[in-house]
Amino acid sequence: MNNNIVYILLDQVRLDMLGTYGHKIVKTPNMDAIAADGVRFNNAFTPASVCGPARTSLFTGQMPSNHELMRNSEKGGEGDPKLDNPNIISGMGDYANYLIGKWHVGKTVLPRDFGFRGHNFDGYGYPGSRVYKNMVFDQGPKQEPRYVEWLKENNFEIPEVTNSYFGENPHLRVQELCGRLSGTREATLPFFVVDEAKKAVLEAKKENKPFFIWMNFWGPHTPCVIPEPYYSMYKPEDVNLDESFYNPMNGKPLHYKDIAKMWGVWEAPEEKWKEIICKFWGYITLIDDAIGEFVKFLKEEGLYEQLFMAITADHGDAMGAHRLIEKGEFMFDTTYRIPMIVKDPCSDRKGEEDNNFVYLHDLTSTCYDVAGKEIPSFFDGESMLPILREHKNNDRKGILGQLAGHFVFFEQRMWRRDDYKIVFNATDVGELYDIKNDKGEINNLFYNPEYADIKKEMLEELYDEMVKIKDPLANWLYRIINEI
């Protein structure tokens, strides 16, 4: 019997703001419970800290430079997964394969082009755009009105956004950072995603087929517009801002400060920062409650115990670290280190933590392995089943991060070990951090002569990893590696 598989992808969540990863205030009882049934990975990383490249990596199983979408498509990124290349479901023909919720893979392709059932939200595809009353954020789907149809089918009133906050930049009034949403939680996007996933499960069950469901939320990514009780659930006095918030940009590329200024958060007062973070926390708990509804349904259908489930995120969110918000062309752990909880019914590892370095797109190979399929050599990722089922460690010494920019072109590469991290900014100052002793990545050691040997070692390891995957930026690093 083939295991049913569900991958749940949160959109842009800072790992250390999840209760299951040790936060003392944010409530995530449902993700906590799933972690108790499986393994929580502490060193899971996205290969790129923006949506399109990361999601395309999960879909194709490849590093961004190999699938070629190195930036979000709406910001100039090029590259579509080819229809005849292997992907996460190309070898899963005996499964009922569903894409539910956000897609944001490639530039022009849609889930149906590859055989997915379910949703086909093109681009960023935020379904509240041009739907919620007073909503300014306008990156909605242009082809599929499924959320609006669902609201009508369930007799929900169209929600309204109030109490919006946009930041302090008068030239950026195009995306709410947070706000209050009218109506009940049952009408929100997380509960829409879960309700549609339930229908997919029942459809596959009726057909007597194993299923693979890739569930994608649009949160807690800003705009954090959420209803009560989540809007008022967390209090500003409970927010402790990062040390780097108060010492934000010493030794950093000048561009990082420009990103914070663009978002209008560089000059934002502490009380506004705390307000945003409280709404971000509320959004996390809203999603956790939706996940709880899905798990309850799976248990009622007798499907939970034998289900292979992974909960993760496409990337993180600075959410105050270094006075930055969201993600962009910077490579701090707040945006590259992601949650990853895996429940494997064939593993005896329950309620454990694991410190192996794993990539988001290791889940692509793992999907094939769980289904008993041969893993294509096309994939860059590795199956996680040896870690889960055989108690093995992989031999990774570190993680490679790749980005060609977000708001502007800004080529970056990262090599992240468990002791040091180096960031090669191709046209700006380099960065080197002592991860063990400087978790906030405040003190840039790149130009400190006491760390010259570590810098050389890290740059050489970064170069070797780039050559290994044929990274096109490797030649530039090679030419200047002894000059930086």
Same domain membership, residue 363 and residue 404: no
Same domain membership, residue 424 and residue 383: no
Mean pLDDT of all residues in 133-153? 96
Same domain membership, residue 297 and residue 411: no
Same domain membership, residue 294 and residue 360: yes
Residue 269 banded pLDDT, cuts 50, 70, 90: very high
Q: Does the pLDDT at position 79 exceed 90?
A: no
Same domain membership, residue 450 and residue 345: no
pLDDT digits (tens, 9 = 90+) for 274-307: 999 999 999 999 999 999 999 999 999 999 999 9
Let me know if residue 394 belongs to a domain.
Answer: no
C-alpha to C-alpha distance for 209 and 308, rounded to whole angstroms? 15
Q: Does the pLDDT at position 214 exceed 70?
A: yes
Element (H, E) at 31: helix 29-36
Mean pLDDT of all residues in 210-233? 98
What integer best gives the mean pLDDT of the chain?
97
Q: For residue 120, count other CB atoms closer than 10 A to its CB.
A: 18
Residue 136 banded pLDDT, cuts 50, 70, 90: very high
CATH number for the domain spanning 111: value is 3.40.720.10
Same domain membership, residue 419 and residue 305: no
pLDDT digits (tens, 9 = 90+) for 325-334: 999 999 999 9
In 3D space, the residue among 2, 1, 6, 15 whose CA is nearest the CA of residue 343 turns out to be 6
Domain count, the chain: 2
C-alpha to C-alpha distance for 241 and 249, rounded to whole angstroms? 15
Q: What single-letter amino acid sits at 313?
A: A
C-alpha to C-alpha distance for 417 and 436, rounded to whole angstroms? 10
In 3D space, the residue among 218, 215, 190 whose CA is nearest the CA of residue 116 turns out to be 215
pLDDT of residue 35: 98
Contact 378, 367 (CB under 8 A): no
Last residue within a domain, chosen from 389, 423, 438: 389
pLDDT digits (tens, 9 = 90+) for 374-430: 999 999 999 999 999 999 999 999 999 999 999 999 999 999 999 999 999 999 999
In 3D space, the residue among 381, 383, 461, 463 whose CA is nearest the CA of residue 420 turns out to be 461
CATH number for the domain spanning 431: value is 3.30.1120.10
Last residue within a domain, chosen from 360, 389, 418: 389
pLDDT of residue 4: 98
Same domain membership, residue 451 and residue 332: no
Mean pLDDT of all residues in 198-203? 98
Q: Cβ-count burial of 376 within 10 angstroms (0-12 exposed, 13-18 middle, 19+ buried)?
A: middle
Mean pLDDT of all residues in 122-140? 96
Residue 351 CB partners (closer than 8 Å, separation 6+): 35, 36, 37, 38
Residue 1 banded pLDDT, cuts 50, 70, 90: low
Residues spanned by the domain of 277: 5-389
Same domain membership, residue 75 and residue 198: yes
C-alpha to C-alpha distance for 200 and 141, rounded to whole angstroms? 21
Torsion of CA 332, 444, 398, 415, to 10 degrees: 80
Percent of the chain with pLDDT over 70: 100
Beta strands in 46-140 (DSSP E): 96-101, 117-118
C-alpha to C-alpha distance for 248 and 321, rounded to whole angstroms? 8
Let me know if residue 238 belongs to a domain.
Answer: yes
Same domain membership, residue 57 and residue 150: yes
Q: Does the pLDDT at position 484 exceed 80?
A: yes
User: pTM higher than 0.85, yes or no?
Assistant: yes
Q: Pairing between strand 358-359 and 39-45?
A: parallel
Let me know if residue 105 belongs to a domain.
Answer: yes
pLDDT of residue 77: 84
Same domain membership, residue 445 and residue 314: no
Same domain membership, residue 52 and residue 157: yes
Order of strands across the sheet with 399-405? 399-405, 409-416, 420-425, 431-434
CA geometry: angle at 256 spanning 250 and 262, to 5°?
A: 130
C-alpha to C-alpha distance for 121 and 99, rounded to whole angstroms? 10
pLDDT digits (tens, 9 = 90+) for 153-179: 999 999 999 999 999 999 999 999 999
| Angle in degrees, 0-180, between the axes of helices 362-370 and 51-60, rounded to the nearest 10 | 30
Same domain membership, residue 440 and residue 326: no
